[in-house]
Structure 1
Amino acid sequence: MPIARRQLVVLARWPAPGRCKQRLTASCGSSALAAAMQRRLSWHTVQTAAAAARHCGSELRLSASGLGPRALRRWGQQLQLRPLQLDLQRGGNLGCRMHRQLQAGFSRGLQQLVLIGSDLPDLQSSDLEQAFSQLERHDLVLGPANDGGYWLIGMTRQGWHRSGSALFTGIPWSTGQVLPLSLQRAAAHGLNVALLRHQSDLDSRSALAPWLRLPRD
């Protein structure tokens, strides 16, 4: 089979009580409701990503944490998407995990890679399609988050080889310095950068309001 040119990776946590993001649990008020919200958001994200992947001719990968191989296979079956690649995230901070995905993808010949999380209530397939479109003209694409981080990162093979691990080491993750510092690093390595629209993840209860009104699972 020919090597795919593009890959879209969803980084997700297993939606079980006690395993969701602390910010999500705080927004929902309980670990059980947080798990229910995480299941809905994960489904929304993966289905949205699948639509974009089909449109862009991209591979789709779900990289998950908080579960074992059997549970991951069951989760993949429940999502009812074919083809869908699955892998288990190894340890390390967010930078390590993103770096690992990019390194693995580019080492096997991919030309463009886009990574997103699974906690974006307002994510649309057009956002992901735009990311790949921008990678035709830019080395790096970032989706700015309202908390000062980013909700998406996309890179080309050329941009990866020019910057290496510079965008992922020494970054104070989960702070308002993530995006500014990442842009500084990109400029220092001569990367041509495109920015997508701002989005909010799960930092506030207001972003989750439409989801909280849905019937519980």
Structure 2
Amino acid sequence: MSAAAVGRAPGTTLIILAKAPVPGRVKTRLTPPYTPQEAARIAEASLADTLDAALATPVGRRVLVLDGEPGPWLPPGIEVLPQCAGGLDERIAAAFAACSGPALLIGMDTPQVSPALLAPALADPRPGEAWFGPAEDGGFWALGLTDPDPALLLGVPMSVAETGRVQRQRLSDAGLAVRELAWLRDVDTAGDARLVAELAPHGRFARALDVSHPGRPGRPAASRPAAIGASAARTTRPSPIPHAPNAQPMAVGPTPNAQPVAVGPTPNAQPVAVGPTPNAQPVAVEAAPNEEPLAPAPIAGHPAPGAVSAQGEPLTPGPRAW
């Protein structure tokens, strides 16, 4: 979006509240999986992307309210003011107090910010109006005040789940018409970093994330190989053969002009003689010791062979009944 499309706010101050990217003092919730040095490099990249967006946004003044010392990451065209001591609510209130006229404050935790996202709060500042940029973690990523008043910030609990709700209620209770900017995700954890990098894959932040830990949580999706879809991985089944309409059954019969095949002896085949096995020894079968020959058992109703009657007459067996 061009500067003309965004709209000009020559009297508006754009405040960037930030912390110098020093290892161990910044983005500590990224450790682990990142080392303090890697977390500092990621924070520096996030701040650099934010400052680039600030430079591309047409405002009257750009002020970096910094906790720490500026480094080579600071581009020209940005004023630097030191942060005051105290809690986050006090530091934000002091940053607004340093401005005369309308001011819009953002942080360094939303490297996906752009002039287009800031445009609604800068297009036409009106008295009695406030702009509120809600963050997905319950806080806020942007706050715009036409008439900056530190009392609107002091005492608001910061960095907790209800920060955004309490701050917005404070604005409403002061009689301000609260306008809302787009919802954005702050970078607090490695999971946040990955999701934000996917939204802005070509910025310094996404590159720093990828260089710090390729393949670990936080790597932008654009630099990872695409997964094979379920349809490609699925085994293909053969298509069934459709039934042809009006198909006629096929009769199976003898093949026309088929010639019978004569089966005869194999030419030059030699007969195989079957004879006794050479050197085979006969096997003698002997009766077991003390084994008595078995006499045939008599059949019921018939005399045994050699049986005689009581008068001494031989008994003749009769016919068997089967």
Contact 1:19 1:66 in 2 (8 A): no
Match of 1:143 among 133, 136, 151: 133
**Which structure 2 segments of 5+ residues have no match?**
1-9, 198-205, 213-322
Shift of 1:182: 1.4
- What residue is the counterpart of 1:215 in the other structure? 211
1:111-150 aligned within 5 A: 111-133=101-123, 135-136=125-126, 139-150=129-140
- What residue is the counterpart of 2:236 in the other structure? none
Shift of 1:119: 1.2
- Distance, in Å, in 1 between the alignment partners of 2:117 and 2:128 is 16
- Distance, in Å, in 2 between the alignment partners of 1:206 and 1:64 is 26
- SS in structure 2 of the partner of residue 5 of structure 1: strand
Counterpart of 1:201, as a letter, is D
- Distance, in Å, in 2 between the alignment partners of 1:64 and 1:197 is 25
- Distance, in Å, in 2 between the alignment partners of 1:143 and 1:46 is 18
Distance change >3 Å, CA 139–CA 15, structure 1 → 2: same
Shift of 1:25: 3.6
Greater fraction helix: 1
Shift of 1:98: 1.1
Give the length in aligned residue pairs. 192
Contact 2:134 2:181 in 1 (8 A): yes
| Higher relative contact order, chain-length normalized (CA < 8 Å, sep 6+) | 1
Counterpart of 2:14, as a letter, is L
- Distance, in Å, in 1 between the alignment partners of 2:87 and 2:187 is 19
- Distance, in Å, in 1 between the alignment partners of 2:136 and 2:119 is 21
Identity %: 28
Write out per-residue CA displacement over residues 122-151 of structure 1, whole angstroms, 9 at most, x where no aligned residue: 211211222212634761111100111100
- SS in structure 2 of the partner of residue 79 of structure 1: coil
TM-score by length of 1: 0.80
The yes-or-no answer on 1:84 pairing with 2:78 is yes
Match of 1:10 among 7, 11, 16: 16
Greater fraction strand: 1
TM-score by length of 2: 0.55
- Distance, in Å, in 1 between the alignment partners of 2:210 and 2:143 is 30
Distance change >3 Å, CA 215–CA 21, structure 1 → 2: closer
- What residue is the counterpart of 2:189 in the other structure? 204
- Distance, in Å, in 1 between the alignment partners of 2:134 and 2:99 is 23
Which is greater in Rg? 2
- Distance, in Å, in 1 between the alignment partners of 2:97 and 2:61 is 16
RMSD: 2.0
Shift of 1:175: 0.8
User: Once superposed, which parts of structure 1, at least 4 consecutive aligned residues long, lie more than 4 Å away?
Assistant: none
Stretch deviating more after TM superposition (134-143 or 86-95): 134-143
Contact 1:200 1:207 in 2 (8 A): yes
- Distance, in Å, in 2 between the alignment partners of 1:150 and 1:17 is 25
Shift of 1:78: 4.3
**Which structure 1 segments of 5+ residues have no match?**
none
